[in-house]
Amino acid sequence: MTFRTALRSAIFGLAAMGLAVPATADQLDDIKADGKIVTATDMHYAPFDMLNNGTYEGMTKDLFDEVAKELGVEPVYQDIPWTAELPGLEVGKFDIVIAPVTITPERLERYTFTPPIADATVSLVKAAGNDELQKPQDIAGKTVGVQQGTAQFRQLQSYGEELGGVTVKEYGTTDEAYADLAAGRLDAVAGSLPNLTYLVKNRPETFALFEPAQFGQPTFFAWVLRKEEASESLARAIEDAIATMTEDGRIRAIQEKWLGGYTELPLTATSD
């Protein structure tokens, strides 16, 4: 089944269950009238989204709490599997996907992206003490885990072909991939640099980054809205909020809290 066919099927199924929300003239006006903005994310994607004893926390939550304050509404956070988020957005199950979504040219044609919230360049992590794997080229002929349906998955596939072959194993969540790496069932895991840096920082006895860790083209994470006229004012309001937060230092403080450093980001969505 192709991605396009799967997406159509998911949208049809959600609509058939009566879960779609009718299109509105202006999404921002409706959100402010309701006093809330309904979001979707996968709460198993540290350091962006995590459940700590059942409580949602992470860099995404800290960022979006501040955006919601700028909009003057309360955020509603929902834990949704990644593969259901974009189809659910398209049929109106929520207002915005705040799971970190890698900006790609294909996605820019289909969705409206907010300004970037983090670096998403694909990187590699290995088991601590594995001296056989050093640089990214060393994964040739190895088995590498990655979260399914992500831009990192596609970049890993492409890179594996360049190297002459890499066995790519897909996982529903990055936590599952990390568990298999720790158990010796994988040689490496591919993901974005912020995710893997956070992993190694918190579990240095188990995991280590490749040196260098990154490969491929630099990319960015952002949030996603429907690409429609009704969403244009909401997109502008979120862009203004992020610009304000960048200027007053809130973006820097949140990055430093969760990532241990600050990366200046573009103020508009770009796949370059």
CATH of the domain at 165: 3.40.190.10
Mean pLDDT of 17-21: 43
Residues 14 and 114 in one domain: yes
Residues 179 and 140 in one domain: yes
Residues 108 and 128 in one domain: no
Task: Please count the structural domains in the chain.
Answer: 2
DSSP string, 202-226: H-TTTEEEEEEEE-SS--EEEEEEE
Closest to 77 (Cα-Cα) out of 36, 33, 29: 36
Provide the pLDDT confidence category of residue 8 given band limits of 50, 70 and 90.
very low
Supply 5's token pair: 């066919």
At residue 20, the pLDDT reads 44
Torsion angle (degrees, nearest 10) of CA 84, 203, 197, 160: -70
Provide the pLDDT confidence category of residue 272 given band limits of 50, 70 and 90.
low
Cα-flanking dihedrals φ and ψ of residue 20, to 5°?
-75, 145
Residues 39 and 60 in one domain: yes
Domain end call among 184, 214, 244: 214
Cα–Cα distance, 152 to 158 (Å, whole number) = 10
Distance of CA 267 to the CA centre of its chain: 18
Residues 136 and 69 in one domain: no
Residues 227 and 201 in one domain: no
Each residue of 142-168: pLDDT tens digit?
Answer: 999 999 988 899 999 999 999 999 999
Range of the domain at 140: 122-214
Report percent pLDDT > 70 for the chain.
Answer: 90
Each residue of 183-221: pLDDT tens digit?
Answer: 999 999 999 999 999 999 999 999 999 999 999 888 999
Total Cβ atoms within 10 A of residue 60: 28
At residue 149, the pLDDT reads 87
Residues 58 and 154 in one domain: no
Each residue of 24-78: pLDDT tens digit?
Answer: 489 999 999 999 999 999 999 999 999 999 999 999 999 999 999 999 999 999 9
Provide the pLDDT confidence category of residue 2 given band limits of 50, 70 and 90.
very low
Q: Is the pLDDT of residue 22 over 90?
A: no
Query: Beta partners for 145?
Result: 169, 189
| 8 A C-beta contact, residue 74 and residue 85 | no
